């Protein structure tokens, strides 16, 4: 039983849009399923969730999230196997992280069971929208934003929690070229880097665009204080394999604690790799690339699971890794996690939430 849950009101579409979808060209994030879930917070409590047709929301231009950025989000995926079973990957972790983000942005939290139940009911109604082919998934985007109609800087009293979903193809296809950034920063100590706060992504757009204009796909962010230690790559956590060791920057308040990161590290331990979470200096990375001791480098996140990094640029000098297909760890863990998420592998860690 979900003690804290108010019954979900369901207003179904009169006609599904599912037949209009070009399933062979899903891309990422621009096709939306029939329904969305909306729940409002007023006078210190959450109201009843409503599942309603996906579409525009109406609010005043004075709502505070548009001006002062009280806006947070989550990103997660659901998968469907050939037996028509639907699995959501580790949604409890997204519920926890959304609350972590909410606390940092001075927003109300949501009981974890309510979060999971809301997502589950929405997916259950739109289960035909969950793709079944390899590489595809239903991307789920829960988010929360302030809706007080008030032009003053203070924590809003009212909020909207919305979940919509989007069938997606695979996110990144090619091997990435990344540039080590040592002028701009993504997040600083004491800031909001460990929250999935909308403003963090706005601040990263210009530096990322500059790198893209120079021919790189993404940035490899360094710490804001010294720019000597690695943080993340784009909107992914970053990992390296050095022989039998999987290395990744240790979590801090400037690093987003990725669920993919956590899952990969767990699998690496299961497989007998040594997992090292520590501050990784740019100099250590470059030495490892020069000597050939670093054999793999990749981003980790829900959208791509694993995004192989082929080239790393420091101060105009490119360092290359071998072809992704020759790596021993990342391709194997990507395939393994994909199989777990699709219910094709023994789910030893109880990661799948069955809808």
Nearer to ligand PLP, 142 or 258 (CB): 258
Give the CA angle between residues 149, 37, 3 to the nearest 5°.
Answer: 100
Compute CA 145 distance to the chain's CA centroid, rounded to the nearest angstrom: 18
Among 248, 302, 311, 352, binds ligand PLP (CB under 6 A): 302
For the chain, what is the largest distance between any 2 Cα atoms, rounded to a whole number of angstroms? 62
CB of 232 to ligand PLP, least distance (A): 5
CB of 192 to ligand PLP, least distance (A): 11
Closest CA to 147 of 239, 52, 236, 62: 62
49 binds ligand PLP (CB under 6 A): no
CB of 114 to ligand PLP, least distance (A): 20
CB of 184 to ligand PLP, least distance (A): 14
Nearer to ligand PLP, 147 or 178 (CB): 178
Cβ atoms of 41 and 65 closer than 8 Å: no
Burial class (CB in 10 A: 0-12, 13-18, 19+), 11: exposed
281 DSSP assignment: B
Helix axes 91-104, 259-270, angle to 10 degrees: 130
Nearer to ligand PLP, 64 or 200 (CB): 200
CB of 50 to ligand PLP, least distance (A): 27
CB of 24 to ligand PLP, least distance (A): 26
Name which of residues 228 to 287 contact ligand PLP (CB under 6 A): 232, 235-237, 256, 258-261
Cβ atoms of 180 and 312 closer than 8 Å: yes
Q: E strands, the chain, where?
A: 9-10, 35-42, 45-46, 50-53, 71-73, 76-80, 86-89, 137-146, 159-168, 176-180, 218-222, 230-233, 237-242, 245-249, 274-278, 294-301, 305-314, 317-320, 352-354
Nearer to ligand PLP, 131 or 301 (CB): 301
CB of 327 to ligand PLP, least distance (A): 20
Total residues contacting ligand PLP by CB under 6 A comes to: 13
Residues that bind ligand PLP (CB under 6 A): 75, 196, 232, 235-237, 256, 258-261, 301-302
């Amino acid at each position: 039983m979900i003690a804290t849950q108010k019954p979900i009101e369901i207003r179904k579409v009169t006609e599904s849009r599912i037949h209009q979808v070009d399933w062979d060209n899903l891309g990422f994030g621009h096709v939306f399923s029939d329904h969305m879930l909306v729940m409002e917070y007023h006078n210190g409590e959450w109201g009843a969730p409503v599942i309603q047709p996906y579409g525009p929301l109406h609010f005043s231009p004075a709502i505070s999230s548009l001006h002062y950025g009280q806006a947070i989000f989550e990103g997660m995926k659901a998968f469907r196997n050939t037996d028509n079973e639907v699995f959501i990957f580790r949604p409890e972790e997204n519920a926890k992280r959304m609350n972590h983000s909410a606390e940092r942005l001075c927003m109300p939290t949501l009981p974890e069971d309510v979060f999971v139940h809301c997502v589950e009911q929405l997916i259950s109604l739109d289960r035909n929208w969950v793709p079944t082919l390899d590489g595809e998934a239903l991307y789920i985007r829960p988010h929360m934003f302030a809706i007080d109609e008030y032009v003053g800087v203070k924590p809003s009293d009212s909020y909207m929690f919305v979940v919509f979903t989007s069938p997606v193809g695979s996110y990144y296809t090619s091997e990435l070229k990344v540039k080590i950034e040592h002028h701009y920063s993504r997040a600083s100590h004491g800031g909001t880097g460990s929250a999935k706060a909308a403003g963090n992504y706005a601040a990263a757009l210009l530096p990322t665009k500059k790198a893209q204009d120079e021919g790189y796909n993404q940035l490899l962010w360094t710490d804001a204080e010294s720019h000597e230690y690695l943080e993340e790559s784009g909107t992914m956590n970053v990992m390296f394999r050095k022989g039998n060791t999987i290395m990744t920057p240790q979590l801090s308040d400037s690093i987003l604690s990725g669920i993919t990161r956590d899952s990969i590290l767990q699998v690496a331990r299961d497989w007998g790799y040594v997992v090292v979470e520590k501050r990784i200096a740019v100099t250590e990375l470059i030495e490892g690339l020069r000597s050939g001791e670093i054999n793999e480098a990749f981003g980790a996140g829900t959208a791509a699971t694993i995004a192989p990094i082929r080239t790393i640029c420091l101060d105009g000098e490119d360092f290359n890794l071998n072809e992704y297909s020759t790596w021993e760890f990342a391709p194997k863990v990507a395939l393994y996690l994909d199989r777990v998420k699709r219910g094709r592998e023994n789910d030893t860690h109880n990661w799948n939430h069955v809808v």
